[in-house]
Amino acid sequence: MPYLFTSESVSEGHPDKIADQISDTLLDNFLAFDKSSKVACETMVTTGQVVLAGEVKSDTYIDVQQIAREVINDIGYTKGEYRFSGDSCGVISLIHEQSPDINQGVDRATQEEQGAGDQGMMFGYATNETENYMPLALDISHKLLIELAKIRREGKEMTYLRPDSKSQVTIEYSDENVPQKIVAIVLSTQHDEFDENEADMLATIKKDIQEILIPRIKNQLPEKLQDLFTDDIIYHINPTGKFVIGGPHGDAGLTGRKIIVDTYGGKGAHGGGAFSGKDPSKVDRSAAYAARHIAKNLVAAGVADEILVQVSYAIGVAEPTSIFVDTYKSSHLNISDGEIAKKVAQIFDMRPAAIEKRLALRNPIYRETSAYGHMGKTPRTVTKIFESPYSGVVKHEVELFTWEKLDYVDKIKEVFEI
């Protein structure tokens, strides 16, 4: 019997995502000037205020207040009427030194034996229903808000848009797990005050979403996915009505509170650990990226149509305590999922230091991950410039989203004899 599945996304202007972006930009600045930095940085935003907290061990010093303000302005909170702007908000820093009790469990005589920065389990997921091996409902949810932000920045259409927004997409699947159609799209966007009454305002926003935004999204998709956009889609646009008060003035935001948006939109599983503000010694982040890298390469190699990979760690211990694989009965091989997991352990070194090296994670690459999902984006090389009043200017050429590279497909085919 056909079934429905739903995923959501939030924009870069959502309060929780503001917090994530500040935390990851602070991390990038620490890594830019000291690659060995250990960082666990949390951010809270609310009306007119930013609070920075957490633990850092680093040989560099950065202007955390100025960095936070720059991030807020970049997102688009630049006006006093938002009750939150980069130029006027207060920024309080409560960041302090990392606990030596934690650090002794991570640092080792040799880098290869570096212990995991925490215990826990991490998951990676991939499916062949999209070109980027991501769940379709989440992929479209992200695209809706990425494009809405582009329209806002272009300033030519929908000029009433403000930075805060959320999306949600519901898709009908067949018994064979094939997407059939989009059933519903929910989109709430913050906006300026309108001169007309609320009913006219909502009609204008709904019309613009359907006639400006949706066609731009369809043009980004392959034809078979464009066909999922039928005339029967139920649209819930700003379903509560007026949405002028938003951002941190409407809701407080916290680092790490959108972990399902950050990963797979509810598909697969999640171990519970957040990503943003954490350096790669924290396996909450690095092992989750490594698990995605494994799952994506396995699916691309033809091992299965859909794969979940779990890895787990004990704090201070280098070798993982377990590696688990679930192919959801979509495997194309005549071996069990347990046997697949054993071969995965042979191919991929999952010690924290090996993950850092394989995916080049000790680089300032994290600001780009902190909105619209950490998974599913296109790997690319960029040059980033960082400036500190204490350490001068540094330039880094870095590769973003290395965990999305399909660089192990041939090796997997060889080991699995595909």
Please report, in range form, the residues annotated as the binding site. 14, 16, 42, 55, 98, 164-166, 242-243, 251, 257-258, 274, 278, 282
**Does residue 278 have an active-site annotation?**
yes
Separation between Cα atoms, residue 17 and residue 257, nearest integer Å = 8
| Cβ–Cβ < 8 Å for 235, 185 | yes
Alpha helices in 54-197, H assignment, sequence order? 64-75, 100-106, 136-154
Separation between Cα atoms, residue 271 and residue 179, nearest integer Å = 27
367 by Cβ neighbours in 10 Å (0-12 / 13-18 / 19+) ranks as buried
Q: Which of 83, 142, 162, 282 is catalytic?
A: 282
**Does residue 329 have an active-site annotation?**
no
**Does residue 284 have an active-site annotation?**
yes
**Does residue 166 have an active-site annotation?**
yes
Main-chain phi, psi angles of 130, to 5 degrees: -135, 165
Separation between Cα atoms, residue 63 and residue 70, nearest integer Å = 11
Q: Please, what is the end-to-end C-alpha distance for the chain in angstroms?
A: 33
Which residues participate in the annotated binding site for L-methionine? Answer: 55, 98, 251, 282
Taking residue 266's Cβ as centre, other Cβ atoms within 10 Å add up to: 16
Separation between Cα atoms, residue 116 and residue 121, nearest integer Å = 11
| Cβ–Cβ < 8 Å for 165, 148 | yes
Q: Which of 142, 166, 249, 367 is catalytic?
A: 166
Separation between Cα atoms, residue 2 and residue 56, nearest integer Å = 50
Length of the chain: 418
| Cβ–Cβ < 8 Å for 263, 285 | no
Q: Which of 35, 53, 55, 216 is catalytic?
A: 55
Which residues participate in the annotated binding site for Mg(2+)? Answer: 16
3-state secondary structure of 180: strand
**Does residue 407 have an active-site annotation?**
no
Which residues participate in the annotated binding site for K(+)? Answer: 42
Taking residue 407's Cβ as centre, other Cβ atoms within 10 Å add up to: 12
* Residue with tokens 């002028």, as numbered in its chain: 244
Which residues participate in the annotated binding site for ATP? Answer: 14, 164-166, 242-243, 251, 257-258, 274, 278
Taking residue 216's Cβ as centre, other Cβ atoms within 10 Å add up to: 14
**Does residue 411 have an active-site annotation?**
no
Q: Which of 63, 74, 251, 337 is catalytic?
A: 251
**Does residue 42 have an active-site annotation?**
yes
* DSSP-based helix, strand, coil % in the chain, nearest 5: 35, 25, 40
* Residue with tokens 């890594």, as numbered in its chain: 31
Q: Which of 34, 279, 284, 404 is catalytic?
A: 284
**Does residue 258 have an active-site annotation?**
yes
Q: Which of 123, 243, 275, 401 is catalytic?
A: 243
**Does residue 257 have an active-site annotation?**
yes
Q: Which of 5, 8, 12, 14 is catalytic?
A: 14
**Does residue 291 have an active-site annotation?**
no
Q: Which of 252, 300, 314, 341 is catalytic?
A: 252
Q: Which of 258, 296, 351, 358 is catalytic?
A: 258
Residue 47: closest CA among 80, 21, 95: 80
Structure tokens at 156: 């030519």
Q: Which of 143, 162, 249, 278 is catalytic?
A: 278
- Neighbouring residues of 50: CB distance < 8 A, sequence distance ≥ 6: 22, 43, 44, 68, 72, 89, 90, 91, 92
Residue 398 belongs to what H/E stretch?
strand 392-400
**Does residue 154 have an active-site annotation?**
no
Q: Which of 5, 8, 12, 16 is catalytic?
A: 16
Q: Which of 20, 28, 42, 368 is catalytic?
A: 42
**Does residue 32 have an active-site annotation?**
no
Taking residue 392's Cβ as centre, other Cβ atoms within 10 Å add up to: 9
- Residues forming the active site: 14, 16-17, 42, 55, 166, 243, 251-252, 257-258, 278, 282, 284
